[in-house]
Chains A and B, each alone.
Chain A
């Protein structure tokens, strides 16, 4: 009998993007992985209260869409994870108090936002010493902090739009002074964002001082760090999914079909199927043009910027780089990086000639490649330091 590697897909989590994570895991990861028939796929769900569950029933989207998950959580016993010599899932089997266990060979994180995409889960997985898909701890932490990511990009000479950032205590302490400081340095309209959240949660476009004050309060409600960015004039927003480790390969530049005032908030992105834009299809695929309709040189410029950002942030496996283009000045600016694109941006990869099944298989192979590279590094160093005490 052929040995099948066990891949644990971890999704859900204590994050504002909990629900997006469920769709990413079930539609874009678990199904294609099972279709490869090469892996035993285990669904590991982290509920909103942080409890872990491991069950085949969690692979059924109807459990979540029907609201049946609440009943399930009342009845089911949470699972636990053991880290002795790798990673082992453990749960009560329901038969004579016996435990059911499964050794995990590889983890496919499908968690967006806090505790998942920000490097927290990656740190835990690094400790287990097993391979996992996607960016590592440092890249995830940098990418998920919009302020830090801009600083890294600037430090590497990559173009970013003008911005300022603040801790939420500044807003709470003296919002009026803060507003004056912002408006002295930056020109309206401005985008106000929580520094760590993805999926456009908590983002506001402010065109007046009053709107800016409200926007700061909204952002501070979600995050303790807030970033305020100047709007790029003659704006074309583009995003570029990228895959790979040392030699990253881009998919296709994607251009959301919205006006700046109709920027993508969570509702537009995931609930309205891009109704504010021109797209007609439902869900996150309906609001954009692939490939983006840009002059060749501008397309190339944005693609190169995206690849450079991917490299300087230390991304591996997969990520998506968002950029802002001033169409008159013909200049692309780095905006932010998403280390785990929603749904893996499979719709874009499909158009680039990569099927859903190929996408997950390639990501697994990148995870193994990176793991093998890390395994070859020395992790111990002999000294006589202790003997001196």
Chain B
């Protein structure tokens, strides 16, 4: 209790507040929620420390200065109260002294609000207006990639494969909101044949707005699952928003992942549906999955195409087949497609296999949705291993669906029959445990209170012959 209270008055408190702002990408609501939830600020910078960027340094300087001024004012009042009999000086001075950590935790958002409203927003609006015109005029094929999950994977696959025969540009990394699209547009050369634009939905109306400003000609919907339900509230609302891009295209050149069960009610007859068995008229057969990748054969009439990718997980087959089929439709040769698919490889922390002390670890810690969990547990079930270990803290941002989703996660894990399940202690742990029980899980269950410590020491828990699937990782602001 005392150490929690003193954490407010430690010199590192100001840096902790700025770290919290930085970790929540300077968004006020998540920051404030984190502040309200935290009772020991000394443990806030657990996984990382404050990255001293220019805005962070400026905010830290402002915050430190503000706190010092308040402390000085408090001391002055106490001094006046003692030596000059200022009425209420001592009491008020002490109150000023004691209250500075509380006051400045909130006051620090003020420069953010002002900066955002007076400087950033007008600048962004200007950039958005310019990008609207750039996208509208651009003559290339503009492929929008939307969905609750699999967007970055699909974008990277499209870029890697289409790049074998066409000039392609894509939104960088996971930069997928309006301002990122605008910055992407500003850097275009104009002669690109294909633009791949990722749509990062977060709240109702996002995807419709992205479509209006980026003017897509094609759209790929990778899936629908409970995500960002703190804003969407229901899966229906999330689906409506994601499929707004299909409405924008009036159903033409819309491609939907048919394996996403939740997306099915939104699919119209004019949409092209692909899955691990069929893609744009191609039949997908003889798929085999291992830790070294995926192989499968696509056939259409007398044509046959044998493909191999370094990606892992059977759930990737549909994506790869669709990308190959679209590339062929856009004029790439079979050889170019084969070469492009062969170049595809796991992305960092997304179904990325690596060897650890003779064991195989599949790092899917960037996954953040139920469908990803389904894919990870399917992979765990499918691959052979002497001992199977599954590790997860659960999912964030599941809103009212939290309990149902985590019970489902427990059932999915149990169905993969791992020998050991490791859960990170948090608000969802009991729901997963209930799901494991319902799924008749018979292995060993470990509950870890310090995820960072566990991940750091994973090498001590595994040995040759083990297969470890590690999904989702909660950043500090959720832990």
A residues 332-389 near B (Cβ < 8 Å) are: 347, 349-358
Q: Would you give the shortest CB distance from A103 to chain B, in whole angstroms?
A: 26
The distance in angstroms between the C-alpha atoms of A31 and B457, with both chains bound, is 9
Contacts of B286 in A (CB 8 A): none
Are A353 and B459 touching (Cβ within 8 A)?
A: no
Q: Would you give the shortest CB distance from A292 to chain B, in whole angstroms?
A: 15
Cβ-based interface call for B358 (8 A): yes
Contact string against A for B residues 364-388, beta-carbon threshold 8 Å, 1 for contact and 0 otherwise = 0000000000000000000000110
Cβ-based interface call for B463 (8 A): yes
Cβ-based interface call for B227 (8 A): no
Contacts of A354 in B (CB 8 A): 463
Are A31 and B460 touching (Cβ within 8 A)?
A: yes
Cβ-based interface call for B478 (8 A): no
Are B457 and A350 touching (Cβ within 8 A)?
A: no
Cβ-based interface call for A32 (8 A): yes
Cβ-based interface call for B461 (8 A): yes
Are B464 and A352 touching (Cβ within 8 A)?
A: yes
Contacts of B358 in A (CB 8 A): 350-351, 353
Q: Known contacts A350-B358, A353-B386: does B457 contact A358 (CB below 8 Å)?
A: no
Contacts of A1 in B (CB 8 A): none
The distance in angstroms between the C-alpha atoms of A31 and B461, with both chains bound, is 11
Cβ-based interface call for A2 (8 A): no
Contacts of A357 in B (CB 8 A): 460-461
Contact residues of B: prevailing secondary structure: loop
Residue of B nearest to A355 (CB): B463
The distance in angstroms between the C-alpha atoms of A351 and B357, with both chains bound, is 7
Contact among B386, B387, B463 for A350, CB-based, below 8 A:
B463
The count of chain B contact residues (Cβ–Cβ below 8 Å) is 13
Residue of A nearest to B447 (CB): A37
Contacts of B197 in A (CB 8 A): none
Q: Known contacts A350-B357, A350-B358: does B460 contact A355 (CB below 8 Å)?
A: yes
Cβ-based interface call for A35 (8 A): yes
Contacts of A356 in B (CB 8 A): 459-461
Contacts of B289 in A (CB 8 A): none
B residues 462-479 near A (Cβ < 8 Å) are: 462-466
Q: Would you give the shortest CB distance from B341 to chain A, in whole angstroms?
A: 33
Contacts of A355 in B (CB 8 A): 357, 460-463, 466
The distance in angstroms between the C-alpha atoms of A352 and B462, with both chains bound, is 11
The distance in angstroms between the C-alpha atoms of A32 and B464, with both chains bound, is 17
Max chain A Cβ within 10 angstroms of own Cβ: one of B457, B460, B463, B464:
B460
Known: A350-B462, A356-B461. 14 other contacts (CB 8 A): A31-B457, A32-B460, A35-B457, A35-B461, A350-B357, A350-B358, A351-B358, A352-B463, A353-B358, A353-B387, A353-B466, A354-B463, A355-B357, A358-B463
Between-chain CB contacts (< 8 Å), 30 pairs = A31-B460, A32-B460, A35-B460, A35-B461, A347-B357, A349-B463, A350-B357, A350-B462, A350-B463, A351-B358, A351-B464, A352-B463, A352-B464, A353-B386, A353-B387, A353-B463, A353-B464, A353-B465, A353-B466, A354-B463, A355-B460, A355-B461, A355-B462, A355-B463, A355-B466, A356-B459, A356-B460, A357-B460, A357-B461, A358-B463
